[in-house]
Copies of this chain bind each other. A is one copy, B any other.
Amino acid sequence: MTHYRLHCFAQSGNAYKAALMLQLCGADWEPVFVDFFNGATRAPDWRNAVNDMGEAPVLEIGDKRLTQSGVILTYLARRFPDFTPSGEDEELEILRWILFDNHKFTSYFATLRFFRAFMPPDSYAGASAFLEGRVRSAFGVVEKHLAAREWVVGDRMTIADLSLAGYVYYPQDEHGIDIEHTYPAIDRWRKRIAAHPRWAHPYTLMPGHPRPA
């Protein structure tokens, strides 16, 4: 029995934030496949017994169950010294970026990609221009922040980086944002994270890719 069990699936960048953290820390963990595309997170069993917010990821640690990627990252950062904040100022600056990520960076980017990669075009036409505008605004804030620095907070990788990086490795044809040429600082930063010797792409780190035809 592994110490950490992460309910996740390959196409979820929010799950990837937690999976990558466990992977980079060399934690004793295993993925548990969530059949999202067949409705697993919308089923009453999931909502009533696993996560009332109806989302993945969920991290199981013995009898404890944590949801929300930002909570899982915070919990793990306190237990793996490479990621433990140096004090309250750093902890709050990390939280600041995790909240920005949840509110404006991952949220709009993940939703835009979900529509473009997994839904029929006529189901999201009205939302697409709105979401892309929000994505470009949030990417602009992060691009400017990373232009003169290597990591989001301080001088080493923190969970703020892992939160913001949830969706940036998915192929461009899934979301339509040309990160490499439009956001060069974000592109260098995502490559910096990927240079970690234990790094793995979401499609290899988590189960469920490719999806059955």
Contact = CB atoms under 8 A, between A and B. Distances in A.
Contact of A126 (B75, B92, B95, B130): B130
Nearest to A123: B130
Nearest to A130: B127
A124 interface: yes
Contacts of A145: 52
A69 to B, nearest CB: 8
A201 interface: no
B52 A70 contact: no
Nearest to A48: B144
A23 interface: no
Copies in the complex: 2
Interface string A104-128: 1001000000000000000011111
Contacts of A98: 99
B141 A130 contact: no
A142 to B, nearest CB: 10
A194 interface: no
Interface of A: 52-54, 66-71, 74-75, 92, 95-96, 98-100, 102-104, 107, 124-130, 141, 144-145
